[in-house]
Chain A
Amino acid sequence: MGQITLQGVQKSFGPVHIIKGADLDIADGSFVVFVGPSGCGKTTLLRLIAGLEDVSGGKILIDGKNVVDTPPAKRGLSMVFQSYALYPHMSVRGNIGFGLKMAGLAKDEINRKVEAAAATLNLSPYLDRKPRELSGGQRQRVAIGRAIVREPKAFLFDEPLSNLDAALRVQMRIEVTRLQKQLGTTAIYVTHDQVEAMTMADKIVVLNGGKIEQYGSPLELYERPANLFVAGFIGSPKMNFVTGELALQKGAATIGVRPEHLKIERDGGGGWQGTIAVAEHLGSDTFLYVDAGPLGMLTARYIGELSLHAGDRVSLVPDPQRIHRFDDGGNALRG
């Protein structure tokens, strides 16, 4: 069981208010990702849940029990750090087994569990090496092994893959997701990589400036962003925003259209007119950065190759079903 609830959780460092009241309900067995720009408080929120920082206000419930006064060792959570934080003086076996040793398990039981975890993570040949004799990816696996072997109520990950190269990151991303599903253990995962967020999460928490902007499934966030911040943060390339006359016509202060929801037509169509400033041809996709005069720069995405080039005139037609409307305060208007 690993059901985690935050109720009005706040955190200040001295006079600086970092987490401004977070409410969150994390279902048992779900994979929740915290995303947000740098410095928005993702790590802080995770550390509050872990117990590595004390809350300044509010409650954290794990399986219904308020744990704000429980030390990290007693919360039954395990954490994977960005820096791996392996014990340098212990072998891989010692690292993975340390939590079990602290829990007072018998030696042969520890060995059995450590070997099972190592097998799952392809670490068996390295059990007797020291962390400094491992590659970055292997160290990461050890850190994950250390987390899973204890069968915790939940895993906490703080940007665990950000020190790996791109290819390994994709591979580990899949492995972590697979492992979490297989174990069925609740996971909270911090990242600022939105591809990681979209692909791994059952639910995403978008944080900004210490506030939760939206909490929902990846597709909910993509299709129905609650406000301008989420609309701009989720999706790549970024959503296009248009203000002024055009927005007012739709009864909104701002309207937003994702690049993939702009139909690209040669000049003369009925859409928004502009000149291509930059065209990026990736083969699988074509990205156009269009100078649309009073509307500003717009980004359009075409799936597949489109032979248009810088300087060409185009007209962009927004899909009427996919226009997002926002009020003065930046909140989404529905209906």
Chain B
Amino acid sequence: MARMATRQRVVISTIGAWLFGFLIFFPILWMVLASFKTELEAFAIPPSFLFFHWTLENYATVQERSDYFHHAMNSIIIAGGSTLIALLIAIPAAWSMAFSPTKRTKDILLWMLSTKMMPPVGVLVPIYLIFKTFGLLDSRIGLVFILCLGNLPIVIWMLFTYFKEIPRDILEAARMDGATIGRELVYVLTPMAIPGLASTLLLNLILAWNEAFWTLNLSTSNAAPLTTFIASYSSPEGLFWAKLSAASTLAIAPILVLGWFSQKQLVRGLTFGAVK
């Protein structure tokens, strides 16, 4: 009896999990499907699920109308660049806060996080003016800079929680073994923190890749990443569902593939070091 009951529960919860997973995945599936439809079919009611005229026409149009690779390159540079620079700043910052905390360390951490609580639109005008003054509007450097600063608090927080888990003794052992602080960072701390670093890097890459507020507001064409590329298809003259879907599918594809191959690291990252 008891075994039957647990079996039933396993079956029910498996079905439940699949349903729930499907529900979450559905919008992406729908978008991908829509990208292969004609514009007419894309907003036909009732919608057709699989039995429509599969076409690659939207992708062709999208590539013709706006240069996908140009935007993709910008996305890679902006997301990648901002993530790498953020990591370079965050590793020593988190290291010092985790291993030589002072009375103010907690306050600094909270203060950093509090900057994330402010809606970015609140500082749009001053940032815009600063960018304008320094000629950073629509430049990749400007976007790398702003996304790096925007995500820095989260990167530092994540690394801090990972570093905190590394036993102090081991770093002290390295110091006794004659390692200078730089070598301690390179040979001991960083290798031990690699899983944490990897998940921080991935998560931050995704955040930066999808960041739409600053990228939309501070870039138009030269530096415009894929977010701008998508946005250009939701125009006021009328929606082109199929083309918008094709653009979006193209935009998320690289990061989706990356995410798929690094699921394990990501799960660790999202649980913020709680899973050993």
Interface residues of A (CB under 8 A from B): 50-52, 71-74, 77-79, 81, 83, 85-89, 98-99, 102-103, 146, 150
- Contact present for A71 and B175 (CB under 8 Å): yes
| In the bound complex, CA of A77 to CA of B173 (Å) | 11
- Contact present for A85 and B173 (CB under 8 Å): yes
- Of the 9-residue stretches B28-36, B164-172, B240-248, B261-269, which lies at the interface with chain A? B164-172
What 9 pairs across the A-B complex have the smallest Cβ distances?
Answer: A85-B169, A99-B177, A102-B178, A85-B173, A79-B176, A73-B178, A89-B191, A72-B175, A85-B170
A98-B177, A102-B183, A146-B177 are known contacts. Are A85 and B192 too (CB-CB below 8 A)?
A: no
Shortest CB–CB separation between residue B125 and chain A, in angstroms? 46
- Contact present for B170 and A86 (CB under 8 Å): yes
Q: Return 23 A-B CB contacts under 8 Å, by A number.
A: A51-B175, A52-B175, A73-B175, A73-B176, A77-B176, A79-B172, A81-B169, A83-B169, A85-B167, A85-B169, A86-B173, A87-B174, A87-B192, A88-B170, A89-B191, A89-B194, A98-B177, A98-B187, A99-B176, A99-B177, A102-B183, A103-B178, A146-B173
Shortest CB–CB separation between residue A284 and chain B, in angstroms? 39
Annotate B178-206 by CB proximity to A: 1 below 8 A, 0 otherwise: 11100100011001101000000000000
| In the bound complex, CA of A88 to CA of B169 (Å) | 12
Which chain B residues border A50 with CB–CB below 8 Å? 176
Q: Can you name the residue of chain B whose Cβ is closest to the Cβ of A47?
A: B172
In this complex, the member of A50, A98, A146 whose beta carbon has the largest number of chain B beta carbons within 10 angstroms is A98
Q: Can you name the residue of chain A whose Cβ is closest to the Cβ of B184?
A: A73
Select which of A51, A52, A78 is within 8 A of B177 by beta carbon.
A78
Which chain A residues border B172 with CB–CB below 8 Å? 52, 72, 79, 81, 85
Select which of B167, B179, B192 is within 8 A of A83 by beta carbon.
B167
| In the bound complex, CA of A79 to CA of B168 (Å) | 14
Which chain A residues border B187 with CB–CB below 8 Å? 98
Shortest CB–CB separation between residue B179 and chain A, in angstroms? 5
Which chain B residues border A52 with CB–CB below 8 Å? 172, 175-176
Which chain B residues border A86 with CB–CB below 8 Å? 170, 173
Q: Can you name the residue of chain A whose Cβ is closest to the Cβ of B191?
A: A89
| In the bound complex, CA of A227 to CA of B183 (Å) | 48
Given A73-B180, A87-B170, output 10 extra A-B contacts at Cβ < 8 Å.
Answer: A72-B176, A73-B177, A74-B178, A79-B173, A81-B169, A85-B167, A98-B187, A99-B177, A146-B173, A146-B177
| In the bound complex, CA of A86 to CA of B171 (Å) | 10
Main secondary structure of the interface of B (DSSP, over half): helix
Q: Can you name the residue of chain A whose Cβ is closest to the Cβ of B193?
A: A89
Interface size counted on chain B using CB atoms at 8 A: 18
Which chain B residues border A51 with CB–CB below 8 Å? 175
Q: Can you name the residue of chain A whose Cβ is closest to the Cβ of B175?
A: A72
| In the bound complex, CA of A107 to CA of B177 (Å) | 17
Select which of B169, B174, B192 is within 8 A of A98 by beta carbon.
B174
Shortest CB–CB separation between residue A54 and chain B, in angstroms? 12
Which chain A residues border B177 with CB–CB below 8 Å? 73, 78, 98-99, 102, 146, 150
Shortest CB–CB separation between residue B129 and chain A, in angstroms? 46
Shortest CB–CB separation between residue B17 and chain A, in angstroms? 33
Which chain A residues border B191 with CB–CB below 8 Å? 89
Residues B154-171 near A (CB distance < 8 A): 167, 169-170
| In the bound complex, CA of A301 to CA of B180 (Å) | 54
| In the bound complex, CA of A50 to CA of B176 (Å) | 8
| In the bound complex, CA of A71 to CA of B181 (Å) | 10
| In the bound complex, CA of A85 to CA of B171 (Å) | 8
A72-B175, A73-B175 are known contacts. Are A89 and B169 too (CB-CB below 8 A)?
A: no
| In the bound complex, CA of A73 to CA of B194 (Å) | 25
Shortest CB–CB separation between residue B2 and chain A, in angstroms? 37
Shortest CB–CB separation between residue B185 and chain A, in angstroms? 13
Annotate B118-134 by CB proximity to A: 1 below 8 A, 0 otherwise: 00000000000000000
| In the bound complex, CA of A232 to CA of B194 (Å) | 51
- Contact present for A78 and B174 (CB under 8 Å): no
- Contact present for B173 and A87 (CB under 8 Å): yes
Which chain A residues border B179 with CB–CB below 8 Å? 73, 98, 102
Which chain B residues border A72 with CB–CB below 8 Å? 172, 175-176
- Contact present for A87 and B188 (CB under 8 Å): yes
Shortest CB–CB separation between residue B184 and chain A, in angstroms? 9
| In the bound complex, CA of A99 to CA of B174 (Å) | 8
Q: Can you name the residue of chain B whose Cβ is closest to the Cβ of A78?
A: B176
| In the bound complex, CA of A211 to CA of B97 (Å) | 33
| In the bound complex, CA of A71 to CA of B179 (Å) | 10
Shortest CB–CB separation between residue A232 and chain B, in angstroms? 32
- Contact present for B173 and A81 (CB under 8 Å): yes
Which chain B residues border A150 with CB–CB below 8 Å? 177-178
- Contact present for B176 and A88 (CB under 8 Å): no
| In the bound complex, CA of A74 to CA of B176 (Å) | 8
Which chain B residues border A87 with CB–CB below 8 Å? 170, 173-174, 188, 192
Annotate B19-56 by CB proximity to A: 1 below 8 A, 0 otherwise: 00000000000000000000000000000000000000
| In the bound complex, CA of A83 to CA of B178 (Å) | 19
In this complex, the member of A79, A83, A87 whose beta carbon has the largest number of chain B beta carbons within 10 angstroms is A87
Which chain A residues border B170 with CB–CB below 8 Å? 85-88
Residues B64-87 near A (CB distance < 8 A): none
Which chain B residues border A102 with CB–CB below 8 Å? 177-179, 183
